[in-house]
Structure 1
């Protein structure tokens, strides 16, 4: 059956129009329900406006990479700064086609001179993303965009907190949220108790959305029933730490949710990705056992949802998760992030009130980017470094590139893990060597210069005292020269040391080209035997002298590899 179709021709309404002041403007409607209008009337260089408007419409349109109001505004400010910087130059380009490399360099240098590198390079990155979408008729020359792209690709990584800093930060937030819960629970008990007292009457008035006439009592009374602005920093920090989500996602949490079997809570998140789709994601957060609400993402979400429920019921728009009592406001209840994602939250004052310091004793700066990096790094360590298990809200490449690659705590932990793994592998290889020597006897290592024994044969890296009678088989030896280090017929003197040092270097060179497990299986026992059993018998001076006299390339190792070692 054919679907019913509307009559007439469908035409997509253009986002580009004219503002009341006659300038080109671009209308935006985001996935988060917010609207914005970007007006070029106040921007310099009018010859750029039409082409830039087309690029901006593509960047913030349904198929663009910016689909929330905050991300669109974050693009608009750098673009205005770009036009303003070009207009200041003596040879300012009046159209996109007139732009030159020196214009791009001037803009990038002017931004870098006025702010920290991480923010300056992000501004350049936003401009590059818009310039690359400009229509072909008014496109900026490729070399200009390439210069800016190279600058933008050098954004430095923001390291996370150390384990001690993270522990102090999250502990302070958890203590504040616990105190908030106890405060509101006490206020609700007073409200539910017998009336007659002045405190109970005031609480009933405030709970019904009324105001108190007595100056100064509104805030104190409201604190017994509603979260206030001073409670927001702790709630934001703890929720970001427990859920391991970006702060933008935390700020845009919806009030609507579904509890699944009293085990998890289902929430639909607005996830800000640099792509044209998948801006929403449904997650299941574990609730946890009773008493663990401050440590499980689902339990914390439901707890905060309940603490803010009375304020949300009195707000103009109850769809928002966040709602608190706002002093000196038209409606004393609502979300601080409804109008803008950049609503000022006093994170610095909150950290100072808790006397939070870093590992060197300086005042700790609360950064949600650093907090996210720290949480991702901690979870990766808990997963034993298995990135597919650690990656929850990002892909494995994004997790590694943006959070783990340059994080000092993660790098240090990875070095420790690798060192432990290598030590375990070397111990296992040494155990293999010792089991083999139990059957074939201990090699003879002569630390002092000695004459060759009668009948001894010189091999690739050692001598053999009786090649015709293997200690185990009693027949002519057919084993690889690498097996000599586990044989009782092996004889090693100072004359063999230079060749042994060259052999170790050749093994290390193969290690850089081979799979680690295959390398240990093939060369590990001989490598461990030389390092722990042979070189330990010689003095450090003998070893240093032998390393200096070692051949640059050990061709013997090539000869003992398959198929050369088999007749």
Structure 2
């Protein structure tokens, strides 16, 4: 088995931001997201940002009168900053099923969404909250409300609209993530994973060496080795694993194949599902990346002078527009290939290379699996184990049961998020106890909040410092906003029909008739408000319109303002909190506290449906926003 770091690029197209794909010669008609045949159950088709697909059927669910509206609302959630992955789509689907089954079990179930009442939604909350903590309940109803917001407003009752448009909040600082493992447990996990990985390597290396000997000079082999060499040569050429008959005297009939023996034959040259678990576990420990990133390591890479490997990884938790990141991983010496991120990557890429010749996987992973369903027959059983979903086929629990040192641990459960948290803590401590020095793949506050906040070893010295800093930044932003509003007055907002708004504009906020008409007709529009003065000499960012005494917000600006809120929320996870509040806090507070409460739920729902499809933040380019500080 050649262990050298070779460069391999398979010609499998993959899209990414800024990267196109091959266009078909004929006109391409995408499949309908919702199929609603009259004689069959409604089906919703989903295609994620990573090209994984799923199909959701309403067959068997009660209240068929609700199915079409819910299916179209479900499909309307597909796309940017909403449902981008199969996992997120299944999360929404589970909520739909649970809600419909609950409503169907009521003594008087709603026969249309227009008959759904606020009281029924409250009963549903009481029904599901048992066994849920605050964060889980918040996430569940966030999906319920997001779904119902995609239903046309005229099909929902006013009290339901009020409920789904209420700004729900939760203090996440009171909810701690799971802590990392103690040092002894962490060491046992890594040792067990490394031992399993070495066993996998030695198994495949033995098969590769025998194959190389046979292909080099078959006359040097005799007996059993020669028979194995002939078999491995045919397997390597075709990718097909021959059926192995049951042994004589066994409980199996000799006329029936032995699947376990066939699997052992395949494992001489190929990875199988059981191999993927320890490889991913060890990858998290070596690279410090999330398990999702390890599962989606691409084949395409570049070697840099044999010292490092450059590749594009996927980091899903950064927002829909920031999934891909270019990284450079150190390879290290040949003896250190299982100690460095680059060495681990090249090691796994080489282990699965022979299988990828048949599966054509765009990821480094390829496994052989018995059976003919789901297209496996066309590839002789070879497939990308994560082609449909990122979940493991073989469970973490199953692998743990094969490791005596882990089975002996009392109440031990392997959690890859806890494993990464432990590694972050180890890196933090090794860096001298300074949290910023340990950041490898996250901003400082994301690392603290999502990975280290629940670890008791970190809380003692990090929690107060980080939390107080973030609170100070947010308080400063709110203080500055209140100070500005006191000096300039509340943001001018015009609501209601045009005639009423014109009367308010002239009598209520003191505009002359011509200016009021121009504001309401859109002749004085900026991206997020109307300007009652000339904008020729205005050099500030358009975000400062939210604090300008010359700005007026009307119902026509609400769709762009709601789109701006979506983009600012997406930026929250990937931006330093202090920077976010300084740059966007004024606009965020003005929209949520001064503008949205002035409009009815029906008006907000109509604006939600009219939100622009394109991003609105690029409209701010031009004037420098870095110089615009409200704190």
Shift of 1:92: 3.3
Please say which of residues 338-347 and 163-172 is displaced more in the overlay.
Answer: 338-347
Which piece of structure 1 moves more, 344-353 or 384-393? 384-393
Which has the bigger relative contact order, CA under 8 A and spacing at least 6? 2
Q: 2:49 aligns with which of 25, 28, 31?
A: 31
Alignment of 1:365-380 (within 5 A): 365-380=413-428
1:206 equivalent to 2:219? Answer no
Task: Please report the TM-score for the alignment, with normalisation by the length of structure 2.
Answer: 0.57
**Partner SS state of residue 273, structure 1:** helix
Change (3 A) 1:12 1:188: closer
Note the alpha carbon deviations across 1:148-176, whole angstroms, 9 max, x for none. Answer: 95689786622322222221111110111
Distance, in Å, in 2 between the alignment partners of 1:146 and 1:60 is 20
Summarize deviations over 1:218-253 as a string: whole Å, max 9, x none: 333332222223222210101122222222232222
- Assess if the C-alpha contact under 8 Å between 1:206 and 1:221 holds in 2: no
Separation in structure 2 between the aligned mates of residue 403 and residue 239 of structure 1, nearest angstrom: 17
User: Contact 2:116–2:156 (CA<8 Å) still a contact in 1?
Assistant: no
Q: How has the CA–CA distance of structure 1 residues 224 and 40 changed in structure 2, closer, same or farther, with 3 Å as cutoff? A: closer
Equivalent position of 2:445 in the other structure: 397
SS in 2 for 1:212: coil
Deviations 1:376-418 (A, max 9, x none): 3333333345444433333333222211222223225659999
Cα distance change of structure 1 residues 353 and 211 upon mapping to structure 2, 3 Å threshold:
closer
Pick aligned residue for 2:103 from 71, 86, 97 = 86
Distance 2:209 2:47 in 1: 44
Distance 1:110 1:328 in 2: 42
Q: Encode CA deviations 1:412-435: one digit per residue, 9 max, x unaligned.
A: 5659999xxxxxxxxxxxxxxxxx
Q: CA deviation at 1:12?
A: 11
CA shift for structure 1 position 118: 7.4
Q: Does 1:324 align with 2:367?
A: yes
Tell me what 1:406 maps to: 454
**Which position in structure 2 is the counterpart of 1:60?**
78
Quote how far apart the aligned CAs of 1:357 are: 4.2
Deviation at 1:271, TM superposition (A): 2.6
> Residues 176 and 406 (structure 1 numbering): CA distance in 2 closer, same or farther, change over 3 Å?
same
Q: Structure 2 vs 1, CA of residues 210 and 23 (structure 1 numbering), >3 Å: closer, same or farther?
A: closer
In structure 1, the partner of 2:331 is 287
**Once the two structures are superposed, what CA deviation does each residue of 1:195-222 show, in whole Å capped at 9, x if it has no partner?**
2422222221222223335335433333
Offset at 1:87? 2.3
What is residue 512 of structure 1 aligned with on the other side? Answer: none
Is contact 2:367–2:383 with CA below 8 Å preserved after alignment? yes
Give the match for residue 162 of structure 1: 182
Q: What is the rounded CA distance, in whole Å, between the counterparts of 2:439 and 2:147 in structure 1?
A: 30
- Say if 1:326 and 1:38 are closer, same or farther in 2 by CA, change over 3 A: closer
| 1:166-315 superposed matches below 5 A | 166-193=186-213, 194-195=217-218, 196=221, 197-208=226-237, 209-215=239-245, 216=258, 217-273=261-317, 275-315=319-359
TM-score, normalised via structure 1 length? 0.63
Distance change (3 Å), C-alpha of 1:201 and 1:243: same
Aligned to 1:346: 395
The runs of 5 or more residues in structure 2 that have no matched partner are 1-26, 246-257, 467-631
- CA gap 1:218/1:51 in 2 versus in 1, 3 angstroms: closer
Matches of 1:133 and 1:388, distance apart in 2: 41
C-alpha change, 1:76 and 1:159, in structure 2 (3 Å) is same
CA spacing shift, 1:152–1:310, aligned 2, 3 Å: farther
Q: Give 1:90 shift.
A: 2.5
CA contact (8 A) 2:435 2:462 kept: no
Residue 289 of structure 1: how far off its partner (Å): 2.5
Separation of aligned partners in 2, 1:51 and 1:386: 52
CA contact 1:173–1:237 (8 Å) conserved in 2: yes
For each residue in 1:267-317, what CA deviation from the matched residue of structure 2 results, as whole angstroms up to 9, or x when unmatched?
2233323744223222222222221211211110110110111111122x3
Query: Matches of 1:152 and 1:101 in 2, distance apart?
Result: 25
Question: CA 1:56–1:415 in structure 2 vs 1: closer, same or farther (change >3 Å)?
Answer: closer
1:259/1:265 contact within 8 Å kept: yes
Counterpart CA distance in 2 for 1:388 and 1:417 is: 12
C-alpha distance in structure 1 between counterparts of 2:357 and 2:431, whole Å: 41
Q: In the alignment, what sits opposite 1:335?
A: 384
Distance change >3 Å, CA 417–CA 132, structure 1 → 2: closer
**Preserved contact between residue 325 and residue 334 of structure 1 (Cα < 8 Å):** yes
Partner Cα distance (2:430, 2:393) in 1: 34
Q: Look up the match of 1:426.
A: none
